[in-house]
Each structure stands twice: as C-alpha cells, then as structure tokens.
Amino acid sequence: MLLSLSIKNYALIESLDITFSNQFSIITGETGAGKSILLGALGLVLGNRADLAVLKDKDQKCIIEAHFSLVNYNLESFFSENDLDYEVQTIIRREILPSGKSRAFINDSPVNLSELQQLGIFLIDIHSQHETRELLNEAYQFEIIDAVAKNAKRIESYRKGLEILNTSRKELAKLLSEKETLAKEQEYNNFLLEELLAAKLKEGEQVELETELDQLSNVEFIKENLDKVLSVANEEQIGTLVTINEMKQALQKITSFSKDYHDYHERILSVSIELQDIIDACFSNAEKIINDPERLEFVNTKLQTIYTLQKKHNVASVEELLQIQNDLDGKLLRYDDLDAAISKKQKEQDEIIEKVNQVATLISNARLETAPLLAKQIEAILSQLGMSDAKIVFDIQSTDAFTKFGKDVINLLFSANKGMQTGPIKKMASGGEMSRIMLAVKAVLANYSKLPSIIFDEIDTGVSGEIAIKMGEIMKEMSRNMQVFAITHLPQIAAKGNQHYKVFKYNVADDTLSELKLLNEDERIVEIAEMLSGKNISDSAINHAKELLN
C-alpha cells in the first residue's frame, strides 16, 4: 500500500508531500493540471526510465520518494534474493541528477532498474484504458482463472516438476547424441584399438628396442673392440693385468716402511680388483655377442610399427600411445554402457512425466470447475455496468504439450448482446466494453488474491450517468480489500471516494506550478459541483453535489 509520496523538482512540481489512506481515493483536476505528472513521478519510482527533461530546475536534482506498507504482501523472499534489507514500511527513492544520471534506492540500498521494476509489479498497478489489452494476453487470462481457482501452490509444484523434466530431457538428449556420435565412430575406433592391441606395446620398450637395434646393427664393431680390451689386458709380457700385478707386488714389499706406501698398495689392490671385474664383464659380453639377423629384423619391424603408430596418432612416445589405447577402450565400453544409461534415464523421465501430468490434471480440473463460476461473477458486475446481456466464457482446452501454464490452452470469449455468438474478446469487444470487462475482472480478483494498489486512470472514459455511479460503487467495494485510486472526470465516481485529492496549476511570477491537495468536505462539494456545471457553479449544482456525496 502506498502510504506517502514526496516529489521535488519534477516537471511542474517544485515540492510536494502527500499522504494516502488505505481506502478509495479520488484524484480530479482539469485537463493539463498535472495528473499525468503525478503518474509519471510514480512511474519513476516503479522503475521507468528517466529523462533530463523532467527536471524543473536544470541545476538541481529531482528526488521522488515513496513510502509503502508491505504487510501481508509476502515479499521477504524478494528482499532476501536481492540482498536487500526487508522493512514492513519500505522506502523507494529515485534521484535524477543534472548530469543525466539516475540513481535508485530501496531502503537506502542502491539498486538497478530491473530490481525496482520487479518490486514495482507487487506494489502498484497503474491501469489506464489502453492497459485493457492485457485481457487479450493468454498469460493474464490464466492468471485470472488460477487466482480464483486457488491454483498458486499447484502451479508452483507443476513448474518445479517441469523444470526437473526439462533437465531430464536435456540429459537424455545428451546421452542419445553421445550414442549417435559414438556409433558413427564405433567401427573406426574399434579398428584403431585392435591396431594398438596388436602392437603389444609396453611402457619404456621404445628406448630398450632402440638400444638393442643399435647393438644388433654394430655386432662386429662391438666384438672387435671388446676383444681388443681383453687382448690389451691379458698380454703375457706387457698386458695391463701383468703390469698392475707387478706394481702391486712391488708396493707390498715396502708397506711396512710407511703408511703412505701401505695406502698406495691398498689403492692399487682396489684398481686391480675393479679392472679384473671389468675384464670379466667384457669377456662375458664378448661371448654373448652373436650375429642374429632374425632378432635384428624383429626389433627393426617392431620399432617401425611404433613409429608408424606415433605418426598416425601425432604423438612422440609409447606412453602416449598406451593412453590413446585406454581412451579408445573406454569409448567402446561407454558405447556398450550407453544403452543401459539411456534406458534408466528414459524410465526416470517417464516417472517425472507421470507426476507432472498428475499436477497438470489437478490444475486443469480446478480451472474447469472455476471457469463457469468466474464467468458468472464477471457477468454480474458487467450487468451492473449496463451490460446485462454480456456473456463471458473461459474456453479451456487440453493439449498434449507441457507449457509453463500446464497442459491447457485458454481463450477468453465474449458477446455483448443476446443471440450473439461468443467469439474471441479481441474481436468482439469495443474499447469501452474492454474497460468495463477489465474493471469487472479486477473487482472479482480483489476478493481472491492480494493485489497491489491499483490506480484507475480515466477508466471511466465513455461512460456516464447510472453506469458511472455503478463503476464508482464497484471501485469502492474493491477498496475494502485493497488500496484503490481513481483519476476521473466524472462527478458520480468522484463522490464515491473516501478521500478526494485535487490536482491544479497556479502561477507564481513567470513560473507555473502544479499542486496536489487533499480536499476537506466543503472543498469537495465545490469541486464536484464544478465537475457538474463548470466554473460558474449554480445552487442546483451544489445541491446535486451534496446529494451525490450523501
């Protein structure tokens, strides 16, 4: 509920501070007096885009501040989700700077326009004649019938289920796509895997094979040099072993004369042992080395296989080839497992569809049960508004497809006169009829859901007399459940308000200002009398105004 509005430096308004009640408030004034300015200021609070042209004084900033009571609106989750401080009495402030920049605040926390617009939807519904086109919108038609059918919790459950179903569908589609892709690659992947398995690759074998190939290719050269080592070491007269043994014997003879000689002997002994070990190893290797053309061919062929596979897979080691082999094996196993995964996911999806279908059926049944009752309620109000033969039908048909509204499609049908076939409301209702239908719809909804404060902006255009009185009574009745404002030119409606505000212009020197004033009882009589007879107020107009107010 809008508690108060403060406007500074906006259009023709220099400074305005006004409070409102929770009942039926009337706003009147001559054309051009500033009613649209008031709505424009409220629009900025609700998140409309700002324009520098609205600054009255181009050197000062414009500030618009609105205080709202959020009791019973259940908006705590909105504040929590947007990291805002929740206050039962919430303040929204909008500032437009001379630089052209705009700032918005909710309870002194800076917010962007989208957050302001989201909150504004729950606070004020500014309804003018062109807004009646909302009735043509399928989403709004569902909103009307679901409010009366008390479908809110069912729809919340349905949409959660639909979200889970859509996720499951995406997962299943991903599995099917993966299977299709793997199926196309299956034969080739199997060929590649068999090729790698046939190679019987082992980690580290490439280095071993390359070393062995080098040896097998140089057998004669290696044997020749090993024989030379053995020959030099074992020569009878001047062999290395003979020489070292003579050195060892000579040093042994003098070890008792000095510790140094003893150490020399020990060291030459160590050299002798090490040399003997080397010669024994060379001898052993020399005996093993044989010219093996078959082994040479095998090693060479194996290496060529490895090199070919490395080139084919664009890698440089056997270890990388083994990783590719594991990956291919995994893909082939994955293909075999996909059928089971797809079957499981399909079963899971069928269970979700069954549950979502159950909720959709409950929603649909509630709508079908509610539709005739809702239509009669709207028709009853339309009868009061001079449309006694009007016929309203909420045509609900089931579909196979899941939509965000359930498994129904809806079409609001209307006829204005007896004997006339109902048809789509967009084709059958005139502008004035649409206005009255929308008022009737809002009046019905006020009894079923917590609607935001509503401002009817000249919704009474094109009506007068008794119909205007009925419109005023309907809006007054709505105000029992919600805050209602009516901007009107009709005295019959103005007289129904609990409070009456007048918008007027006045001149100060060379400046024109706009003001909004709460009228007292006498001022209100004069204002309604003026609406009846014009500036020259007659006694009969005064008496008529009093009669309307009473």
Between helix 465-478 and helix 431-445 the angle, nearest 10°, is 30
At CA 497, angle to CA 492 and CA 503, rounded to 5?
90
Q: Report pLDDT for 332.
A: 63
What is the distance, to the nearest Å, from the Cα of residue 59 to the centroid of all Cα atoms in its chain?
40
Q: Report pLDDT for 333.
A: 66
- How many other C-beta atoms can be found within 10 angstroms of the C-beta atom of residue 304? 10
At CA 35, angle to CA 32 and CA 41, rounded to 5?
125
Looking only at the bridges linking them, the beta strands covering 2-10 and 13-19 are antiparallel
Looking only at the bridges linking them, the beta strands covering 391-403 and 406-415 are antiparallel
Q: Report pLDDT for 370.
A: 95
CA-CA distance, 367 to 360, in Å (whole number)? 11
- Write down the CATH number for the domain with range 2-150+385-519: 3.40.50.300
Contact 445, 359 (CB under 8 A): no
What is the distance, to the nearest Å, from the Cα of residue 169 to the centroid of all Cα atoms in its chain?
18
Q: Report pLDDT for 54.
A: 83
* Residue 88 token pair: 């039962």
Q: Report pLDDT for 238.
A: 67
Contact 94, 48 (CB under 8 A): no
Q: Report pLDDT for 375.
A: 96
* Residue 331 token pair: 């893909």
Q: Report pLDDT for 293.
A: 76
In this predicted model, what pLDDT tens digit does every residue of 136-186 receive, in sequence order?
Answer: 889 999 999 999 999 999 999 999 999 999 999 999 999 888 777 777 677
In this predicted model, what pLDDT tens digit does every residue of 304-328 receive, in sequence order?
Answer: 888 888 888 888 888 888 888 888 7
Q: What is the largest CA-CA distance in the chain?
A: 158
SS3 sequence of 143-195: HHHHHHCCCHHHHHHHHHHHHHHHHHHHHHHHHHHHHHHHHHHHHHHHHHHHH
* Residue 91 token pair: 């303040």
Q: Report pLDDT for 309.
A: 84
- Within 200-239, residue ranges assigned H as helices are 205-216, 219-234
CA-CA distance, 24 to 36, in Å (whole number)? 19
Please tell me the pTM assigned to this model.
0.68
Between helix 138-148 and helix 318-384 the angle, nearest 10°, is 70
Q: Report pLDDT for 7.
A: 92
Q: Answer left, alpha or beta for residue 498, where phi above 0 means left and psi between -120 and 50 means alpha.
A: alpha
- List every span in the chain annotated with CATH 3.40.50.300: 2-150+385-519
Contact 35, 46 (CB under 8 A): no
CA-CA distance, 101 to 49, in Å (whole number)? 11
Query: Residue 229 is which amino acid?
Result: V
Distances (CA, A) of 539 to 431, 530, 536: 36, 11, 10
CA-CA distance, 245 to 264, in Å (whole number)? 13
How big is the chain by its Cα radius of gyration, in Å? 48
Per-residue pLDDT tens, the chain, 550 aa: give them: 999 999 999 988 889 899 998 889 999 988 777 788 888 899 899 988 888 888 888 889 999 999 999 988 888 989 998 999 999 999 999 999 988 888 999 999 999 999 999 998 889 888 876 666 788 889 999 999 999 999 999 999 999 999 999 999 999 999 888 777 777 677 677 777 777 777 788 888 888 887 767 777 777 787 778 778 877 777 766 678 778 887 888 888 888 888 888 898 889 888 888 888 888 888 887 777 777 677 778 878 888 888 888 888 888 888 888 888 888 777 766 667 778 888 889 999 999 999 999 999 999 999 999 999 999 999 999 999 889 999 999 999 999 999 999 999 999 999 999 888 999 998 998 877 888 898 899 899 888 877 788 998 888 777 778 888 899 999 999 998 889 999 998 999 999 999 999 998 888 888 888 888 999 999 999 999 998 888 888 889 899 999 988 8
Contact 356, 214 (CB under 8 A): no
First to last CA, the chain: 27
What sign for the dihedral angle of Cα 8, 14, 15, 16?
Answer: negative
Q: Residue 65's beta-bridge partner residues?
A: 6, 93
* Residue 401 token pair: 């497809």
